[in-house]
Structures are given as structure tokens and as C-alpha cells.
Amino acid sequence: MIDVRILTTHDAALFGNVADDVFDEPINPEYLAAFLADPRHHIAVGIEDGVIIGFASGVDYIHPDKPAELWINEVGVAPTHQRRGLGRRILDCLLAHGRSIGCRTAWVLTETGNGPAKALYTSAGGTVDADVDDPDAQPVLFVFQEGL
């Protein structure tokens, strides 16, 4: 049985047992502690036999002219557990958590060619923003490198 839930600071030890290819990099204990301690950072995970096999992370934020929103940063599922609905269960858990803390909307960016991500977000009720549907308004990601 796969348990899907939001993790807290009390769950840090679970990150000692993560399936291959769930996260992009190895878990850094210092980053993990800071992430879990920050009340605006959220992570939903799927756990099977004590192993994290998938996750969705997000950040809630407010702006002077907008109500609270949830930015979904990333979703990852171990290759051994893909195409079984786990990503959807984890994403649904994160979205429900966002609603429970007062977020009125959630949003996520993905690459135009990322069919699996687009299918996941659509299945969870996401819709393509009207501005993004315009070919001249495709999302562009700017990255500011370390040491800015």
C-alpha cells in the first residue's frame, strides 16, 4: 500500500530512503532541514514500504494585489511507479493542502514538449492559461546563476 501525505519537520528521517530517480540530486541534509522548517514550503510524497517513491513540492505566497497562491515547483515519481496514477494522487494531495491553508489558485510551468507533465496537470483539473495559448506568449524561463 502506498501512503500519500504532506511531510513536516518530524518526517526528515524518511528522506534517508528515497527511490532512484525521484529527485534530481541526492538529498542534502542542510537543504532538507531548511525546506521542512519553512512554513511556506510544502512537500507531498508517496511512501511505499518506508521508501519515498514520488513527490510534489510547492511554495505558498502572497502578493500585495493577489490572494494566496500555490506555486508547484516540481513533481517526480520513480520510474518503477510511473503510469500508475501515483503522480496524480501526490499532486492532488499537494493541491488539497494548498486549499487547506487558504490558497485560492495554484500554478505550474512545464516545457512545451513535456507530454506526461501536461497530461498530469490536465487530469488534475489544470487548464492552459489563455496567454500561454498564444504562440507569441510562450513561457520563457530566465535563470539567475549562483553568486548573483
**pLDDT tens digits along 68-115:** 999 999 999 999 999 999 999 999 999 999 999 999 999 998 887 888
d(CA 73, CA 24): 13
CA 115, distance to chain mean position in Å, is 17
- Is 148 a member of any domain? no
Looking at the predicted structure, is the pLDDT value of residue 136 above 90? no
Residue 97 phi/psi, 5-degree rounding, is: -65, -45
- Is 45 a member of any domain? yes
| pTM of the complete model | 0.90
- Is 144 a member of any domain? no
Cβ-Cβ contacts under 8 Å for 12 (sequence gap 6 or more):
32, 33, 36
- Is 143 a member of any domain? no
117-133 per-position pLDDT tens digit:
989 999 999 888 766 65
Sheet arrangement for strand 41-48? 2-6, 41-48, 51-63, 66-77, 105-107
Q: At what angle do helices 115-123 and 86-100 cross, to 10 degrees?
A: 50
Q: Are 31 and 51 in contact (CB under 8 A)?
A: no
Cβ-Cβ contacts under 8 Å for 131 (sequence gap 6 or more):
137
Residue 135 phi/psi, 5-degree rounding, is: -55, -25
Looking at the predicted structure, is the pLDDT value of residue 143 above 90? no
Domain count within the chain: 1
Which structural domain range is residue 112 located in?
A: 2-137
Burial string for 94-123 (b: 16+ CB within 10 Å, else e) reads bbebbeeeebeebebebeeeeeebeebbee
CATH code where residue 65 lies: 3.40.630.30
